[in-house]
Chains A and B, each alone.
Chain A
């Protein structure tokens, strides 16, 4: 739909509605003027009945809903779905919008139907010698009558969001919807967490049992690695459950310390290093937890894409700033889901994440406000 034509169809509709209403008003007025006594009273009664029916229809709950469905394509405005149909706030807005469209449509129609014949009349009379000045004026009036229609259309586009936009009850309903979605996501996360957690535990217990036989060489080493991997994964799942519950009813639990960061870095193959400046353990628990995820993700990326050991620098000065650097060979494509997830996580705490890849050095810098 072009910008100029936005609202044209609605103006026509409004004008048609207004014409119908105007015709009815005229018919009733005419009849009332021509009758007297009992007949007149009956016609007045009928007029009142028609008015009442119109009011009931306009104020009925589905009206605003239907209007939103109509306004969206005809005006090209973005209106959120109607959740609140029954409140009087919603019903009044629906009725007022209908009358407003009829009014604007009627005025637009009068302008169009009045100015075009007037312009044509001026041109014709000008050509017939009533004054040459009439010709350019007439030539101006005819296109102007059409151009003004665009302004009326714009008026509807501008005013409709105020009249048909969400009511207070709508906004409450959206919030409730959002909450329900989150709760649903929470339930799914928990179920996934439980099933994966139990499976990993079963694997871990089996490895424990096998290790009791003190297997030598690669078998023993493999079992130890299985155990350390399942334990780390279960630890993370534990943290996730803590976070999930934490968002529901529990202040977050302190879990991460500088020592945890050290063992995380030490657990990575190669000689990665950790430097901590400032008092990491004095940071709020959630900042430390996020910092842990940053270091973890940074190291994961470094091992996946890098060639040498990674350097992790954690600076605590008010906020926490974490920099992970390491050498990379070829620039590898894509940031990966891990970094995307991390960016999301940092966004949640108003932090930020930047990665650069310059002269063979990959650098990830995260800032976490306290």
Chain B
């Protein structure tokens, strides 16, 4: 697998989990697919950063709770790297408060470890190949669960078009899908999304979806 010039068709995945059984299990699942390659594994956040630098994965499958450096901080630092991969957070429990923090740190989506092999493969492929937000329904639930604890955040003034784009984006559509829904070009959507992220003061689509739900714009 340590090919100097990796096959661009193959999605390179790094699996990070402190539990060897989970790590090896995920590696076995991901490694069984033709279009995926597990380029490495790591058992804590520090290892994960070093492995990302060295192995340049497309997707990092990241556990949240780990010794040394947890998944939240590791995600933050990995995403600060040049040509950062996308991060999929995997978690044992649905009610894990760290998941929200991991998403705020820039992870592109989260998945329960028990969701099943199909879901894991779907998530990794979606992250590697599209710009869509993963599992928007799960994000909605996560936000709803936290809603009681914090005041609603206000959304800045958005144009009608931006509102439309945000609505579609929050349902998990890709730029291309949004473009075809709105009968505009993909480049136009891209610039709308960029403007949207800037106005919302967020760094990625996942955070935009969180903002949409937290403000009550989506419910």
Is A245 touching B21 in the complex (CB atoms < 8 A)? no
Q: What is the CA–CA distance of A238 and B92 in the complex, to the nearest angstrom? A: 9
Residues of B within 8 A of A249 (CB): 149
Q: What is the CA–CA distance of A211 and B120 in the complex, to the nearest angstrom? A: 14
Q: Is A313 an interface residue (CB 8 A)?
A: no
Q: Which of B24-32, B68-76, B102-110 contacts A (4 or more CB under 8 A)?
A: B24-32
Q: Is A206 an interface residue (CB 8 A)?
A: yes
Q: Which of A19-27, A196-204, A265-273 contacts B (4 or more CB under 8 A)?
A: A196-204
A218-257 near B? 1/0 per residue, CB < 8 Å? 0000000001001100100110011001000111010000
Q: Which secondary structure dominates chain B's binding surface?
A: helix
Is B93 touching A202 in the complex (CB atoms < 8 A)? no
Residues of B within 8 A of A237 (CB): 93
Q: Is B35 an interface residue (CB 8 A)?
A: no
* A202-B25, A238-B95, A253-B145 known; A208 vs B19 contact (CB < 8 Å): no
Residues of B within 8 A of A238 (CB): 93-95
Q: Is A348 an interface residue (CB 8 A)?
A: no
* A201-B113, A230-B114 known; A206 vs B21 contact (CB < 8 Å): yes
Is B117 touching A211 in the complex (CB atoms < 8 A)? yes
Residues of B within 8 A of A203 (CB): 21
* The one of A202, A241, A253 that contacts B21, using a Cβ cutoff of 8 Å: A202
Q: Which residue of B is nearest A241, CB measured? A: B95
Q: Is A1 an interface residue (CB 8 A)?
A: no
B107-147 near A? 1/0 per residue, CB < 8 Å? 00000011011001000000000000000000000001100
Q: Is B22 an interface residue (CB 8 A)?
A: yes
Is B93 touching A197 in the complex (CB atoms < 8 A)? yes
Is B95 touching A245 in the complex (CB atoms < 8 A)? yes
* The one of A213, A230, A234, A250 that contacts B149, using a Cβ cutoff of 8 Å: A250
Is B149 touching A201 in the complex (CB atoms < 8 A)? no
* The one of B24, B92, B116, B148 that contacts A201, using a Cβ cutoff of 8 Å: B92
Q: Which residue of B is nearest A253, CB measured? A: B145
B92 to chain A, nearest CB (A): 5
Q: What is the CA–CA distance of A51 and B78 in the complex, to the nearest angstrom? A: 77
Q: What is the CA–CA distance of A245 and B93 in the complex, to the nearest angstrom? A: 13
Most buried by B among A198, A206, A211: A198
Is B148 touching A204 in the complex (CB atoms < 8 A)? no
Please, how many residues of chain A have a CB less than 8 angstroms from a CB on the other chain?
Answer: 27
Q: What is the CA–CA distance of A227 and B115 in the complex, to the nearest angstrom? A: 10
How extensive is the interface on chain B, given as a class? 20 to 34
Is B114 touching A209 in the complex (CB atoms < 8 A)? no
Residues of B within 8 A of A230 (CB): 114
Q: What is the CA–CA distance of A274 and B119 in the complex, to the nearest angstrom? A: 31
Is B145 touching A212 in the complex (CB atoms < 8 A)? no
Q: Which residue of B is nearest A244, CB measured? A: B95
Residues of B within 8 A of A251 (CB): 148
Is A205 touching B145 in the complex (CB atoms < 8 A)? no
Q: What is the CA–CA distance of A352 and B69 in the complex, to the nearest angstrom? A: 48
Residues of B within 8 A of A211 (CB): 117
* The one of B26, B94, B148 that contacts A205, using a Cβ cutoff of 8 Å: B26
Kindly list 18 other residue pairs between chains A and B, CB separation below 8 angstroms, not including A208-B116, A212-B117, A253-B145: A194-B92, A197-B92, A198-B92, A201-B113, A204-B113, A204-B114, A205-B26, A205-B113, A208-B117, A209-B28, A209-B32, A213-B32, A231-B114, A234-B93, A237-B93, A241-B93, A245-B97, A253-B144
Interface residues of B (CB under 8 A from A): 19, 21-22, 24-26, 28-29, 32, 92-95, 97, 113-114, 116-117, 120, 144-145, 148-149
Interface residues of A (CB under 8 A from B): 194, 197-198, 201-206, 208-209, 211-213, 227, 230-231, 234, 237-238, 241-242, 245, 249-251, 253
- What are 11 pairs between A and B in contact, CB < 8 Å? A202-B21, A202-B22, A205-B21, A205-B25, A205-B29, A206-B25, A209-B28, A212-B29, A242-B94, A250-B148, A250-B149
